[in-house]
Amino acid sequence: MNGGLGNACYGLCKILSEKVRLTMVLPKVPDYLLADHKVKIIETIVDLSSKNKPSNKSKEEIEYQYASKTINIEVELDPYFHPGSGRSLTEEIKRIKKARKEKRIQKTDFQKQHKSIAHSLDLYDDDMLERVVEYAHQVTEIAKNLKFDIIHAHDWMTFLAGIYVKNATGKPLLLHVHSLDYDRAAGKIKSWVFDIERYCLSKADMVVPVSNYTAGIIYSRYGLSSKKVLTVHNGIAPAKMTIKLPKDGIKTVLFTGRITGQKGWRYFLEISLKVLKQIENVKFIMAGDGPEMDDLTKSEIVDFFSDKIEITGHVGREKLKELFSISDVYLMPSVSEPFGITALEAVQAGIPVVLSKRSGVSEVLPSAPKAYFRDTTTMARHVVRLLKDDKLYIRTVKKLQKEVEQNTWKKSAEKLITAYRQLLADNEENN
């Protein structure tokens, strides 16, 4: 778990573990989860090199490992994975059929398990889908020997596991949506991941998006009824907050995120040019990495004002905190942002945020200056006003920090517990 999904799961589980008996079944246990929380952590073993043979570990060893005694295995299930250039299901099938002829790729059992997705076509996949399916199988075997009341799965890579366990145990399933393929493709394309998401969401007992914005996409693009959708906004851990005034010298505008169309890095560059036309003593930092990094570094705009922009590549948590400490405005011009926890972190660090209206975090920060991502003129105007007007700057940060204080993981966890109770009541009534 990494990125916003990892932060969200970590923040929620810390609070939930105080309220419910929580068992986490993960493909890989991050170091930061090896803390003294009341969470049972179970790692699954996915070894494709051995043709998906079961682990040598006994069921007892797999099922009852706690954070201090985790199984040391590695499996890559990258939540930022996207199939090629967003190929459709039909295109993906054609590609894999061709690859199978060339490389003798073995057919998975995905079609047998999910005929409603594959329709009458043969569905094969590369290493990624095999890992996701194998993870689902192993989770199901583990779940058969565990006592639990509710299944809670996060994003598409674990949705299938949730469906498998629901089918095997009859327990109610809650699917937590932190992002969608529709977001990652910036709303332009559909892929086989989209089809998997749509199938799984339709089978869930409850769907929890992290924002009303994402809920709207679920209704309009995935065809779900609002009756089983409950928005639970992401939160943030309480922290001491200070207000950092803009520097008298060179001011700094910060962008963080994956270098993809979804995050709006091209719009950030356009906004930067418009800001520079009004303020000379300003520089821009772009922190992050992604599939479009080459496009970014070769951009004519970057070449035009290379002395005004710094491209850092990937940054860790400590480096991100450092960037917040030296920045004056945080700019998020996302094309489609399910939430955006970094905006909350920026406010905690004492700097104002300028947000895309197509972001979930804008729902919990009503005082933040906003504009549609394509409206780079308005975005630039917001940035310039904050950098030029100290009184506006201070007033905006104070309002934002009050709003952040109300948006905690405890509040999010309480909503989830209410959802759990509803699921249990509905399940008991139906049975």
* Chunked mean pLDDT (size 10), the chain, 431 residues: 76 88 75 54 53 36 27 41 48 51 45 40 50 84 90 93 95 96 71 86 97 96 92 95 80 96 95 95 95 93 90 92 95 96 96 97 98 98 96 96 96 96 90 72
At 256, give phi and psi (nearest 5°): -130, 150
Q: What is the pLDDT of residue 130?
A: 73
CATH classification (class only), 3-235+411-430: alpha beta
Q: What is the pLDDT of residue 164?
A: 94
In the chain, domain spans = 3-235+411-430, 251-405
Q: What is the pLDDT of residue 99?
A: 55
User: What's the CA gap between 412 and 176, in Å, rounded?
Assistant: 12
User: What's the CA gap between 81 and 133, in Å, rounded?
Assistant: 15
Q: What is the pLDDT of residue 92?
A: 46
Q: Kindly give, in sequence order, each residue whose CB lies less than 8 Å from that of residue 206, ignoring residues fewer than 6 positions away.
A: 172, 173, 174, 175, 228, 229, 230, 419, 422, 423
**Does 3-235+411-430 match 251-405 in CATH topology?**
yes
Three-class secondary structure of residue 21 per DSSP: coil
Q: What is the pLDDT of residue 45?
A: 55
Q: What is the pLDDT of residue 429?
A: 84
CATH classification (class only), 251-405: alpha beta
Query: pTM for the whole thing?
Result: 0.82
Chain Cα centroid distance, residue 376: 25
Q: What is the pLDDT of residue 192?
A: 75
Question: Which burial class, exposed, middle or buried, applies to 72 when counting CB atoms under 10 A from its CB (0-12, 13-18, 19+)?
Answer: exposed
Measured from the Cβ of residue 151, the count of other Cβ atoms closer than 10 Å reads: 24
User: What's the CA gap between 132 and 167, in Å, rounded?
Assistant: 17
Q: What is the pLDDT of residue 101?
A: 55
